[in-house]
Amino acid sequence: MFLPTTNKEVEARGWDELDVIIFSGDAYIDHPAFGASVIGRILEAEGYRVAIVPQPNWRDDLRDFKKLGKPRLFFAVTAGAMDSMVNHYTANLRLRSNDAYTPGGKAGFRPDRTVDTYTKILKRLYPHTPVVVGGIEASLRRLTHYDYWSDRLQQSILATSGADLLIYGMGDKPIREVAKALRNGFNMKLLRGLRQVGFLADKEYVERLYNGKTIVLNSFEECQRDKHKFGENFKEIEVLSNMMECETTLVERVDQSYVVITPPHATLTTEELDHSFDLPYERAPHPRYKGKGDIPAWEMIKHSINIHRGCFGGCSFCTISAHQGKFINSRSERSILAEVKRLTQMPDF
């Protein structure tokens, strides 16, 4: 079964409540190449009741954001497989006319700066329910960053969106820990103890963090005044991302708050990576898209096999090594061959 996207599908599963609701800027394709599905299936395998709301309409009366109500644990928000600004605009800042992650390849089904827009709407409608953001857009914008489209530095997405927590990099491990930490209700103390997350804190909290394992980056305001300060931050972040074992916490002041980024998890083991790929995906777009045209990203990926994550390359234009990490992380032969077998049995192969 696909993860539910409507109340009718939630009822068909016999659920009277949801634990987690994922909002995604992409169409829902149940396949291990699409992040929202992976996160949904991982949580489902842990026994949580999860639904996905793909490409909600943010311009009407917000019925897509209200239709499933509020979850018991948290909302999860992702812009999708791409940063929404890369998805929307060419390098010449021209509006793109198509979107590879939408049925029929149509553009216009997600807002600019999707994470900010979805999170602000959810926080307005459900101020007491935690919102956890993740995926490429949240991950790569977690600290002060240069934004090509506005040609200026932007603050951490934690400050601009109002999210309670950010997961950076691949979320397989942290999402399980976040769900566990929130199992008995919102507990910021437990969340702040997790690895591979980011959050906003006050001065009193970060002063307790100042020890040999903390790097205090130049603040957003200092970076705005002096581009060399931003260069120093970039170097620190890049050096840390090349460490096999990292225990360093990053702190960066923005306005009167501080962004705290906890150290990453070690790279997934082969068994852990196999688990993400072996989950019971339908390997197809959700049936709601029948008759709405092909989804170009699905047409490209459906007969392909992903055998590893990570890249040592670090090419400046590419998100793979910045998001997935610098270390290669391989699936087992057994897991890959099992997927090859399933793929050859697809009717259109």
Chain residues that interact with ligand SF4, rule: CB under 6 A: 311, 313-315, 318, 320-321
What tokens does 272 get?
């852990």
Of the two residues 287 and 313, which places its CB atom closer to ligand SF4 in the complex?
A: 313
Considering the complex, state which of residue 284 and residue 320 has its C-beta at the smaller distance from ligand SF4.
Answer: 320
Question: Which residue lies nearer to ligand SF4 by CB, 328 or 346?
Answer: 328
Q: Are 317 and 301 in contact (CB under 8 A)?
A: no
CB of 240 to ligand SF4, least distance (A): 17
How would you list the strands of the sheet with 50-54, edge to edge? 50-54, 20-24, 74-78, 131-134, 165-167, 197-201, 257-261, 249-254, 214-216
* Structure tokens, 319: 């998100």
239/318 with CB nearer ligand SF4: 318
Handedness of CA 293, 295, 299, 303 (dihedral sign): negative
CA distance 296 to 281: 19
Judged by beta carbon, residue 71 or residue 310, the one nearer ligand SF4 is 310
Select from 137, 133, 114, 136 the least CA-distant residue to 59.
Answer: 114
* CB-closest chain residue to ligand SF4: 313
Rounded Cα distance, 136 and 142, in Å: 10
In the complex, least distance from residue 39 CB atom to ligand SF4, rounded to whole angstroms:
22
Give whichever of 111 and 310 is closer to ligand SF4, judged by the CB atom: 310
Structure tokens at 110: 């997600």
Pairing between strand 249-254 and 29-30? Answer: unpaired
In 145-246, DSSP assigns E strands to 145-147, 152-154, 165-167, 197-201, 214-216
Report how far residue 3's alpha carbon sits from residue 16's, in angstroms, rounded to the nearest whole number: 15
Residue placing its CB nearer to ligand SF4 in the complex, 46 or 238:
238
Nearest-CA neighbor of 22 among 33, 30, 11?
Answer: 30
Q: In angstroms, give the least distance from the CB of 140 to ligand SF4.
A: 13
Give me the least distance between CB of 146 and ligand SF4, in Å please: 18
- The residue count of the chain comes to 349
Q: Pick between residue 293 and residue 313 the one whose CB is nearest to ligand SF4.
A: 313
What is the smallest separation between the CB atom of 317 and ligand SF4, expressed in angstroms? 7
Cβ contacts of 276 within 8 Å, gap of 6 or more: 32, 38, 41, 42, 172, 268
For residue 304, the minimal CB distance to ligand SF4 (Å) is 15
The residue among 81 and 200 lying less far from ligand SF4, judged by its C-beta, is: 81
How near is the Cβ of 331 to ligand SF4 at its closest, in Å? 17
**CB of 248 vs ligand SF4, minimal distance in Å:** 23
As a whole number of angstroms, the distance between CA 11 and CA 17 comes to 9
The nearest distance, CB 315 to ligand SF4, in angstroms, is 3
